[in-house]
Amino acid sequence: MAVRILGLVGSLRAGSHNRQLAEAAAKHAPEGVELAVYEGLAEVPFYNEDLDVEGSVPEAAARLREAAGAADALLLFSPEYNGTMPAVLKNAIDWLSRPYGAGAVSGKPVVVVGTAFGQYGGVWAQDEARKAVGIAGGTVLEDVKLSIPNSIGRFSETHPADDAEVVEQVTEVLRKLAAAVEPSAA
């Protein structure tokens, strides 16, 4: 049985380079690994404890929790917005952190990667995402990182799925993430 990884993309823009990076990872996932890129983060309401009531959790949030709960691991793709992660990614982490101590991300291996326009590839945002998802209960693989700088130039005419170096890098990230999954889940 394949290791199931859920990909969450922190950019809602149709032409997002991080979405393209997620597509490249899904396309080139190594044998025995399935990466499903989640659709629907834009529909998840901002986290509000008043909405998070058993039996009446908003449908979009319940679907996100269900998808994360069914996954063996999570791979977050984060651009950098004003030096930190985008609100849509933080909101997803907040929903997945609840109920406290038993959220859909609890104990699951998580890796954060991404690409950004700047010279460091969005490392500040990725560090913030690692911090938040770790506090939320995820088991962050701190030593598995991929930050691709100059996304606008690098991917202006080449999709990440067609960039041999990027394909090699995302494939290695997926291998390491899959290896962190409990053998019983694989």
Closest CA to 78 of 140, 14, 141, 121: 121
What is the sign of the dihedral through the CA atoms of 146, 140, 64 and 171?
positive
Q: Which helix (DSSP H) or strand (DSSP E) does residue 125 occupy?
A: helix 123-135
DSSP codes joined into one string, 89-111: HHHHHHHHT-STTS-TTTT-EEE
**What pLDDT, on a 0 to 100 scale, did the predictor assign at position 165?**
96
Q: pTM of the full predicted structure?
A: 0.96
Mean pLDDT of the chain: 95
Write the pLDDT tens digit of every residue in 147-179: 999 999 999 999 999 999 999 999 999 999 999
From residue 2, give the alpha-carbon distance in Å to each of 64, 161, 179, 186: 21, 21, 12, 6
Over pLDDT 90: what percentage of the chain? 94
> Which residues, including other chains, have CB under 8 Å from residue 165's CB and lie 6 or more apart?
none
Take residue 167 and report the two structure tokens written for it: 């394909």
Answer for the pair 18, 114: CB distance below 8 angstroms, yes or no: yes
3-state secondary structure of 59: helix
Nearest CA among 76, 99, 98 for reference residue 89: 76
pLDDT tens-digit profile, the chain (186 residues): 899 999 999 999 989 999 999 999 999 999 999 999 999 999 999 999 999 999 999 999 999 999 999 999 999 999 999 999 999 999 999 999 999 889 999 999 999 999 999 898 999 999 999 999 999 999 999 999 999 999 999 999 999 999 999 999 999 999 999 999 976 554
Q: Using one digit for the tens of pLDDT, what is the confidence trace for 32-53? A: 999 999 999 999 999 999 999 9
Cα gap 84→67, rounded to integer Å = 25
CATH superfamily of 3-179: Flavodoxin domain (3.40.50.360)
